[in-house]
Amino acid sequence: MPNLKDLKVRINSVKSTQKITSAMKMVAAAKLRRAQESAEAARPYAEKMERMVADVGESIGGIEGAPPLLVGTGSTQIHLIVACTADRGLCGGFNGTIIREVRTLAHNLKRDGKIVRILCVGRKGRDGLKRQFEADIVETIEGIGRRGVEFADAQKVAETLTTMFDAGGFDVCTIVFNRFQSAMTQIITSQLLIPFTVPETADDEAGKDSAGAEDTGPSAIFVYEPEEQEILADLLPKNINQQVFQALLESAASEHGARMTSMDNATRNAGEMIDDLTLTFNRTRQAAITRELVEIISGAEAL
């Protein structure tokens, strides 16, 4: 039987843990609302930009000398994986699922004889991948989204990407992040950044649009002002910025959602634990009282 003092200490410690988790839940919920709003508000821009790049790419894609950001370097030997995780833990499976996804991706690529490089956005990703892929991690970018994700953050990541790409650091770039769906569910998404491809969701939408307006179909010929090449040179890096920005926004919203749900669970679990412990505490107390009574009575009888 544990003694009363121990139980009391235990109950108090669980209670203070519960206070912390419930406070974290509140904070996450407040941040989630803001992050969710900005992630959802930014979606139209990212989608429209993607469509525009797809349109321009369509007409220029076949031409020789098309920018490598659009068509790739012609090789697929070196893969860069950008892993978007959080800087902090305590958010359920959020970081774990990303790490697992990156690990599978990297293993598959390595099995096919490719070279894998990993760029970690967020400290937890590096921590999780360090053990297995220490040699492959080229860079870690931390401290993003501490006060909400800003465009400058995305630019920093995108700049790292383009500089590395220009220097021949990789041929194909995939970004792995959690797409925000609701506070409870995040969808793991691997999006090919370089070379440019139209993701399926954007494709669907483009399909719908062209169904409504027949003349904007894929065969449509656009007039460009200035030349396609010039527009593309400007548009492609911006598109990468934007896609990275979107991924970071989605990831931030997902992080807060995941943290909110997991902290909610933790608070509930702590509550259950407190109930259990209180029950044991009361039983022990009762037992102690009974024992004392028995001792007093038997002592009196012996006289």
Cis peptide before 2 (omega within 30 of 0): no
Part of the chain binding another protein (CB under 8 A), chosen from 136-144, 165-173, 179-187, 219-227: 219-227
Tell me if 152 contacts another protein by CB under 8 A.
no
Task: Tell me if 42 contacts another protein by CB under 8 A.
Answer: yes
Q: Is 91 a catalytic residue?
A: yes
Measured distance between the N- and C-terminal CA atoms of the chain, rounded to whole angstroms: 31
Q: Residue 23 interacts with another protein (CB under 8 A)?
A: no
Which span (16-24, 122-130, 230-238, 288-296) binds another protein, by CB under 8 A?
Answer: 230-238
Q: Does 30 bind another protein (CB under 8 A)?
A: no
Residue pair 148/249 in contact (Cβ under 8 Å)? The answer is no
Choice among 84, 91, 120, 173 that is catalytic: 91
Binding track, positions 231-270, relative to another protein; x by CB under 8 A: x--xx------x--x-------------------------
- Could you give the strand order of the β-sheet that contains 172-180, starting from the edge strand earlier in sequence? 137-141, 115-121, 78-84, 172-180, 186-194
* Interhelix angle 228-302/151-166, nearest 10 degrees: 120
Q: How far apart (Å, rounded) are the C-alpha atoms in residues 149 and 63? A: 37
Residue selected from 6, 230, 276, 292 as contacting another protein according to rule CB under 8 A: 230
- How many residues contact another protein, by CB under 8 A? 28
Across 140-151, b (16+ Cβ under 10 Å) vs e yields bbeebbeeebee
CA distance 141 to 287: 58
Neighbouring CB atoms inside 10 A of 303's CB total 4
Considering the complex, what minimum distance in angstroms separates the CB of residue 194 from another protein?
20
Should residue 55 be labelled a site residue for another protein when binding is judged by CB under 8 A? Answer: yes
Chain centroid to CA 230 = 34
Which of 48, 107, 283, 291 lies at the binding interface for another protein (CB under 8 A)?
48
Is 112 an interacting residue with respect to another protein (CB under 8 A)? no
Nearer to another protein, 39 or 120 (CB): 39
Please report how close the Cβ of residue 214 comes to another protein at its closest, in angstroms.
10
Token pair for 244: 């990275």
Which is closer to another protein, CB of 133 or CB of 245? 245
Beta bridge partners of 192: 174
Site membership for another protein, residue 155 (CB under 8 A): no
Tokens representing 171? 């041929």
Contacts of residue 153, defined as CB under 8 A and 6 or more positions apart, other chains included, come to: 144, 145, 245, 248
Contacts to another protein by CB under 8 A? 38, 41-42, 44-45, 48-49, 51-52, 55-56, 151, 213, 215-216, 220-226, 230-231, 234-235, 242, 245
Give me the active site residues, please.
Answer: 91
